[in-house]
Amino acid sequence: MSLRKKVSKKAGRSAEVIIPDKLYFRIGEVAGLCRLPAYVLRFWETEFAQLKPVKSSTGQRMYRKRDVESVVRIKRLLYEDGFTIAGARVQLREESKPDKTQTALPFPGAPAVNVAHLRHELQQILHILSARH
């Protein structure tokens, strides 16, 4: 019986957060969306460099959509994946690194011919324009 309760609680935690299409969210809105207390969000701001909401002229935290997405990712790492704060910080840093295994796209064949042709065309245009003056 207690096993079912644990499973259902975990299933409720992993529910997908639907982020409304808005420019800015107040801390209370983000707390409600992510089912977290506001003090947790303020604490996470001190622990995670990815979480940097801007402040309004009145000093209120204004989260952008990417900030809310970061909150959701941090919550998943800490609460579902079992990372410590330090471990989650490292994981987020690793995820934000560019993929070094990706290779550059090759240039099309015979680029020198294309560049030479383009140079010739530009020289003709320059000749036409300089003849007008």
Total number of domains constituting the chain: 1
Residue 110 lies in a domain: no
Domain of residue 59: give its range.
Answer: 11-96
pLDDT at 61: 92
pLDDT at 10: 44
Residue 102 lies in a domain: no
Mind spelling out the 3-state secondary structure of 12-75?
HHCCCCCCCCCCCEEHHHHHHHHCCCHHHHHHHHHHCCCCCCEECCCCCEEECHHHHHHHHHHH
State the angle between helix axes of 38-47 and 65-75 in degrees (0 to 180), rounded to the nearest 10: 90
pLDDT at 132: 74
Q: Global pTM?
A: 0.62
Residue 118 lies in a domain: no
Q: In terms of DSSP bridges, do strands 54-55 and 25-26 run parallel, antiparallel, or are they unpaired?
A: unpaired
Residue 15 lies in a domain: yes
Q: CATH number of the domain at 35, please.
A: 1.10.1660.10
Residue 72 lies in a domain: yes
Map tokens 């140079």 to a residue.
Answer: 119
Q: pLDDT per position in the chain (133 positions), as tens?
A: 444 433 334 444 456 778 888 889 999 999 999 999 999 999 999 999 989 999 989 999 999 999 999 999 999 999 999 999 999 999 998 888 776 666 666 655 555 567 778 888 889 988 888 887 6
pLDDT at 106: 63
The rounded distance, in Å, linking the Cα atoms of 106 and 70 is 34
